[in-house]
Each structure stands twice: as C-alpha cells, then as structure tokens.
Amino acid sequence: MIDSLLIANRGEIARRITRTAKRLGIRTIAVHSEIDRDMPFVREADEAVCIGPAPAKESYLNADRIIEAAMRTGAKAIHPGYGFLSENADFAERVTASGLIWVGAPAASIRAMGLKDAAKKRMIAAGVPVTPGYLGEDQADERLQREADAIGYPVLIKAVAGGGGKGMRRVDGAAEFSAALASCRREAVAAFGDERVLLEKYILSPRHIEVQVFGDKHGNVVHLFERDCSLQRRHQKVIEEAPAPGMDASTREAVCQAAVQAARAVDYVGAGTIEFIADASDGLRADRIWFMEMNTRLQVEHPVTEAITGQDLVEWQMLLASGEPLPLRQEQLSINGWAMEARLYAENPSTGFLPSVGRLSHLKFPDGIRVDSGVEEGNEISAYYDPMIAKLISHGATRQDAARRLARAAAGVEVWPVRTNAAFLARTLDHPDFRAGAVDTGFIERHATDLVPPAEPSERVLQAAARAILPKPGRDIWTTGSGFRMNAPSSREIGVEVGGAAYRVELHDEGEPAVTDAGVLFVDGEAWAYGPPRAGYAGGSAGHSDGAIVAPMPGRVIALMVAKGDRVTRGQPLAVIEAMKMEQTLSAPFDGVVSEMKVLADAQVVEGGILMQLEGDQ
C-alpha cells in the first residue's frame, strides 16, 4: 500500500482525499498556491509546499513544481483529484518516469479517451453504441457546415479536447452555425489549446447518464451502477443522483455492461466514468442510449455512488494504484437507497448566475447530510478558481426521501456576504416535475422562471425582516419609525429596509421565526441585509443610463468586438469577460456610437469597472 501521497489539487477534493488517506495511515502532502496558503486543505495535510502564484498555470498546472515538491518531500505517489492535471497524459507519464505511483488512469488510456473523436471511433470498433455525428479530420468551415446541414438541426458543436462544458455550443439552424463555430473554437483554444471540433446530433429530450467503472492491473473491470446528471445549466452539472430515475433492471444491465465493455477496450485501470446521452422522449430504453465520452478520473459527483454502494472510491483508487485487485466482484455490489448531490456555488442567480467573490464572513452548513467543502468561515472566494463552495449530499431510502432531505438542507444554508445558488437549489429540488422524475438537460432552462429567486424580497422575507426589527417588550412602538394601524388589532405597518431598498410591511400575527446574524436575514437559502429604514431613503437602485458599459463581475476581457468611433445597435455584442470558467457577453443597451474605450483585450477588470462609453443617437 502507498505510504505517502502528494495531492496535486486544492479545495474540497484535496480535503476529501486527505480524509481517506489519513484513515488508511498514509502521510499526506498538500501543494498550494500563494493565495491558498491559509486554506483548510493546506492545514489538514501532514506537510504542505507552496508551488507558485495564484494563477493556476503558475501553480496547480505547473507540472515541474509539483513533481519537484513530491521528490523533495519523499512522496511515493501523486493523486491528481479532478480538474487541473488529472487527465493530462504527459503529466501522468512524467510522474511514473520519476519513479512515483500515479493514482489515476494509465497515460495510454487517457490519450485513447481524451480526444472525443478518437474515443468514439474506438468505441464503434468495440461495439459500443455512439451518437450520430461527424468525426472527420477535415475541419474547414465549409465542410463542417455541410456536415451539420446533413445531420439535421439542432446539432451540437463540441471541442475535440473539451470537457466540463467548455467548447460546446448548440446550433438550432444553419444561419447560426458560423457564429457558433467561431465562438466554440475561441473557447476551445483558450481552454485546451486545440480548436478542432466534432459534431453530434442534438437530442431533444436528453438525459445525461453516466456509469462509474473501476479496473485493476489484473484485467478485471466492474461497474458501480449509474448516476443521472441531467440537471445542468450551460452544460455544467448542478444536481446529480444515483440511481437514475426511471431506469429499469434490463436497461441498467445494458448500459452498465456497455460501460464495462468501453473500459475494457482501453485496458482501463483505476476510477473512470463512461458518459452516455439518452433520448428520454419515450422513457429510458437501451436502444436509445449512446456513448458520449469517458472521464479518466474521479468525478465531482462520486459521493452519490459512495452513498448507494457503501464504498469509499478514493480508497479503491489507492488500492488499485498499489497493484492490488478490485476489492469486490460485480456480484458483491448492490444499490442501497437513493442519493443526491447539489453543488453550492458562489454565484448570484438573480443576475444571470454571475460569480460572486469575497470573504465568507458568515458560513453555516446544515446538519444531517454529508457536506464536502473546501472552505470555512473567514476564507476568501477568489476569481482564480472554480466558484464551488460545497457539495451537499443526501441519502435516503427512496428518491423522494433523498430529495426532501436535500431541499431542506439547501434552504438551510447560511452564507454572507458572498451570494450563492442555495435558494435556486432548494426551489429545483422542490419542483413538482423534479420530484416526479421528469428531468432532462433542458429542465433548468425550461423552468427558470420558477427556479430563479426574484431580485426583490418575497413577502415571506419582508415579514421576517419586519419581525426581526420589532421593538423589544417594554419599548414604545411609536418611536421605532414604524406606523401603527388603528382598528386593526391583528396586523400593523412597519417600515423596514431589505437588500438596500425600503418597504412598508403590513405585519401579520402569524409567521415563522427567522434566522438572523448581525443584520443579515437567512430565509429559504437566500440572504438579505435588513434593518430599520434610513431617514429619507427612497429605495431602488441606479442603472447606467449614461452609456457606461461596466463589468458585471471581476475577470479578464477576452474579446472586444468594437473600437472607438464604431456605430452600434441595441443588443449588439460589445465585449466578452471571462472569470471562474464563465464567459459573459456585454451588449449595447441602445443604438449609438462608441465614444471612448477604457480597456484593452486581455485586461483584468474589477466588478463595476467601466470598459467603454457609448453615446446614444439624438
């Protein structure tokens, strides 16, 4: 067994690996960037090494410094977690060439499955069903347009070297193809250094089904059943569950055996996930489930598989990397109950899910569920890395039980002043269609009006805030700044400020007590600053009606589509900002002329920073 392990990652997955390693008596070494020096994953390791500045390419993607740290600390193995260098075949080879154990897939397997077009060709040869599409070498714009036309719209453009939802665009008609292809290639080059793409038929009622597989060095492969990851936003998973709703025994057998077949085709060793796309327009059927890709690493959503199987997947990784056989045979594995995972992100749903950064002055997770988090109260959420705060994982005897527990947990999250998607998660988990298992990858977009909390406080929030500022017994209500309605013994009006705006609230006798913390109200996963109204405050907020185009989030300007003096029309794209794996396109609010440019391409900007100035037509 491995006796010392360097964890080439950060945040919650680094803590997760450390937890299992310590239980197994393995010494752990953390590597970290300068900005991560005080993070929990660094403190919890037996030893820590700083490997560079905050930007990932200078630290967590710096293979030289990671291997150097492993050699200097006497580590016997390197675990890459997920993301960063976890699916980098060259890095895997360098690790083993340095005499270290690589706790991951063999470099040959990573290469075989890393390029989507080559992987699909290999799967076709192995008899695994794949989605109809174009995998050709000819990447000319004209050829790709012709192939898309032949496949029939909608089609999906995907970066050959893609992953994590990057370099992916849906195209609904021929007229949109050229612009979507250019955007996809730009994102693919930035993320992967490879602009090549493939085309797939876009499934109109798609379900994202994936199967957890493990292979050992003795030729054995097993599956640990399926997960459903259909709840996605912009191709990023939001809620995952295991098993998949609506999956009958015969379909499960077919898809899981196809996954084992796919793993065997590349002589797979370690933890991997075979991802399938299912046409669920007529339920889940074995003849309508096709191979999409393989992730040659541990997945973010692995805890739901751990919950239903009772297995520690990180421990399995350690055993297999040490050369031991699979811990269990296929017939020894079974499904126990239902599990769900929700990804709690630092983002603001009411502003289009823009990232939120800053210090976590208040952070409280709910009890009664598993919480995998990379941060603690007082830590900073920066713009350098993924905005995930935590993974909330529930387990119950039934799907309804797991969903109820997770919805209640999401509603009980308390975070301030960083904004989160907790209320959005709670609303999604409580939605009747989700509870009924009517899920597909378009679920969130289709139900956005119901799922995204409004920017204004709800009546429940206003009632809770009004109660929170009520005078204590013995104080005179006439001096509190709130009005009292005569001849209305069951209610009264009170002035209150919530979220920076003033409201008059008719306070009712009935109502639940609110959770508060130093002037912040937590209700159903939302957080609102509240207090008595300021004298003369009229409420509301000011917009940029003067033509200033401002950054809605801190990040990097990756594209400028206009220059000084250009004439623009309302809705025309002006610039693209990237932060935390998200692109945000800024558009012209009215017809006019670009009168001034404030930034250059590739510049770093702060939230609220002015990028350019427009002058409207008179």
- CATH architecture of the domain 548-616 equals Beta Barrel (2.40)
Q: What is the mean pLDDT of residues 585-610?
A: 86
Distance separating alpha carbons of residues 93 and 89, to the nearest angstrom: 6
Question: Quick one: pLDDT band at residue 475, thresholds 50, 70, 90?
Answer: very low
Whole-model pTM: value is 0.80
Q: 275 by DSSP, 3-state: which?
A: strand
Amino acid 487: pLDDT:
40
CB atoms within 10 A of CB 383: 20
> Which has more pLDDT, 384 or 539?
384
Distance separating alpha carbons of residues 344 and 467, to the nearest angstrom: 29
Question: Quick one: pLDDT band at residue 503, thresholds 50, 70, 90?
Answer: confident
Cβ burial of 64 (10 Å; 0-12, 13-18, 19+) is exposed
Cβ burial of 424 (10 Å; 0-12, 13-18, 19+) is buried
> Which has more pLDDT, 545 or 597?
597
Examine the residue annotation and report whether 19 is marked as an active-site residue of this protein.
no
Distance separating alpha carbons of residues 201 and 267, to the nearest angstrom: 29
pLDDT at 79 over 50: yes
pLDDT tens by residue, 201-236: 888 889 999 999 999 999 999 999 999 999 999 888
Give the least confident one: 36-40, 55-59, 543-547: 543-547
Amino acid 531: pLDDT:
87
Amino acid 581: pLDDT:
58
Q: How many Cα atoms within 13 Å fall on the side-chain side of residue 511?
A: 20
Question: Quick one: pLDDT band at residue 380, thresholds 50, 70, 90?
Answer: very high
Q: Estimate to the nearest angstrom the gap between the alpha carbon of 485 and the chain centroid.
A: 48
Q: Estimate to the nearest angstrom the gap between the alpha carbon of 474 and the chain centroid.
A: 50
Q: What is the mean pLDDT of residues 313-321?
A: 98
231, β-bridge pairs: 239
pLDDT at 118 over 70: yes
Amino acid 580: pLDDT:
59
Q: What are phi and psi of 188, to 5 degrees?
A: -65, -40
From 122, 297, 419, 427, active-site residue: 297
Residue written as token pair 């612009």: 179
Amino acid 486: pLDDT:
36
Contacts of 422 (CB under 8 A, 6+ apart): 344, 410, 411, 413, 415, 525, 526
Instruction: State both tokens at 103.
Output: 């706790």
Amino acid 341: pLDDT:
98
Give the least confident one: 35-39, 218-222, 277-281: 277-281
Domain boundaries 133-201, corresponding CATH code: 3.30.1490.20
Average pLDDT score over the chain = 90
pLDDT at 24 over 80: yes
pLDDT tens by residue, 178-195: 999 999 999 999 888 899
Question: Quick one: pLDDT band at residue 476, thresholds 50, 70, 90?
Answer: very low
Closest alpha carbon to 412 in 402, 403, 422:
422
The answer to whether 244 and 304 are in contact (CB under 8 A) is no
The answer to whether 568 and 513 are in contact (CB under 8 A) is no
Longest Cα–Cα distance of the chain, Å, equals 85
Distance separating alpha carbons of residues 198 and 203, to the nearest angstrom: 15
pLDDT tens by residue, 552-587: 777 889 989 999 999 998 888 899 888 655 677 888
Question: Quick one: pLDDT band at residue 82, thresholds 50, 70, 90?
Answer: very high
Amino acid 78: pLDDT:
98
Q: What is the mean pLDDT of residues 303-327?
A: 98
Looking at 3.40.50.300, 3.30.1740.10, 3.30.470.20, 3.20.20.70, the CATH number of the domain 210-451 comes to 3.30.470.20
pLDDT at 104 over 70: yes
Instruction: State both tokens at 299.
Output: 């997945």
Which H or E run includes 574?
strand 573-579
Amino acid 164: pLDDT:
67
Amino acid 34: pLDDT:
97
Question: Quick one: pLDDT band at residue 481, thresholds 50, 70, 90?
Answer: very low
Amino acid 511: pLDDT:
66
Instruction: State both tokens at 459.
Output: 């009546």
Amino acid 88: pLDDT:
95
pLDDT tens by residue, 346-372: 998 988 888 888 899 999 999 999 999
The answer to whether 559 and 576 are in contact (CB under 8 A) is yes
Contacts of 557 (CB under 8 A, 6+ apart): 575, 576, 577, 599, 600, 601, 602, 603, 604, 605, 611
SS (H, E, C) 509-528: CCCCCCEEECCEEEECCEEE
Domain ranges of the chain: 4-103, 133-201, 210-451, 459-531, 548-616
- The CATH class that applies to domain 4-103 reads alpha beta
pLDDT at 539 over 70: no
Residue written as token pair 């006796």: 3
pLDDT at 463 over 60: yes
Amino acid 20: pLDDT:
98
Amino acid 500: pLDDT:
74
Strand extents, DSSP E, 296-387: 338-345, 347-348, 354-355, 358-359, 362-364, 370-373, 380-381
Give percent above pLDDT 70 in the chain.
92
